[in-house]
Amino acid sequence: MSASAVIFYILSVFILATGLLAVTTGKIFRSAIWLLFSLTGVAGLYFWLQMEFIAAVQIVVYVGGIVVLILFSIFLTQRSGKEMPAPVRGRVLLSALAACAGAVLTYTLIRHYPFKPSLHPAMEAGVANIGMQLLSTSEHGYLLPFEVVSILLLAAMIGCIVIAIKTKPGEK
């Protein structure tokens, strides 16, 4: 087994273990920190797959943006040191059973599916190629989805302000 394979398995175990801790730990603040580690591990997996741009976006948006947002919302709404009430035991058992059954079923299907790689020469997934195709108006360009997503982000931003703005008591 080469160093690359060892790195892949270490990253996989890291992602899955921290992900599992994020959904099972009792304190909500710890849960957010485990989620942060799991997302960083996914970014490492993208680096391992030689998708440096996606890894950078993952770190900037998920680790730097979403997790920080979640931490702020925890500080605003929860007592972060307090244990959350444990879920009912029956629900835990049934959920674990459902999740395991789903995972086994899906993985059985995946393992027997013959994946056929395309035989065309590989294209370098560098920032230059990604940028050219993302903003291209030709047949395989992604300019229209790019603009739609920018409008969606604007709408989400305005929507957040409208939803979370504080109304004075009395006027509703």
Partner 1 sequence: MNEIPLTHILFVSTALFFIGAYGLFTRRNLITMLMSIELILNSVNINFIAFNKYLYPDKLDGVFFTLFIIAIAAAEAAVAIAIIINLYRNLHSIDVEQTEEMKF
Nearest by Cα to 130 from 139, 140, 118? 140
Does residue 160 belong to the site contacting partner 1 (CB under 8 A)? yes
* Binding-site member from 69, 79, 83, 135 for partner 1 (CB under 8 A): 69
- Here the tokens at position 8 are 């892949």
Site for partner 1 in 36-65 (CB under 8 A): 38-39, 42, 45-46, 48-51, 53-54, 57-58, 61-62, 65
Q: How many residues bind partner 1 (CB under 8 A)?
A: 85
| Whether the Cβ atoms of residue 58 and residue 51 lie closer than 8 Å to each other | no
Q: Give the integer Cα–Cα distance in Å for 122 and 89.
A: 50
Does residue 142 belong to the site contacting partner 1 (CB under 8 A)? yes
* Binding-site member from 79, 82, 83, 98 for partner 1 (CB under 8 A): 98
Q: Give the integer Cα–Cα distance in Å for 155 and 153.
A: 5
Does residue 96 belong to the site contacting partner 1 (CB under 8 A)? yes
Does residue 136 belong to the site contacting partner 1 (CB under 8 A)? no
* Binding-site member from 10, 79, 87, 147 for partner 1 (CB under 8 A): 87
Does residue 32 belong to the site contacting partner 1 (CB under 8 A)? yes
Nearer to partner 1, 138 or 166 (CB): 166
Does residue 138 belong to the site contacting partner 1 (CB under 8 A)? no
Does residue 33 belong to the site contacting partner 1 (CB under 8 A)? no
Tell the smallest beta-carbon distance from residue 3 to partner 1 (Å): 11
**Cα dihedral 58→15→70→30 (10° resolution):** -150
Query: In the chain, which residue ranges form alpha helices assigned H by DSSP?
Result: 3-24, 28-48, 52-57, 67-77, 89-111, 127-134, 143-164
Q: Give the integer Cα–Cα distance in Å for 73 and 65.
A: 12
Does residue 70 belong to the site contacting partner 1 (CB under 8 A)? yes
Does residue 99 belong to the site contacting partner 1 (CB under 8 A)? yes
Nearest by Cα to 37 from 55, 9, 57, 59? 59
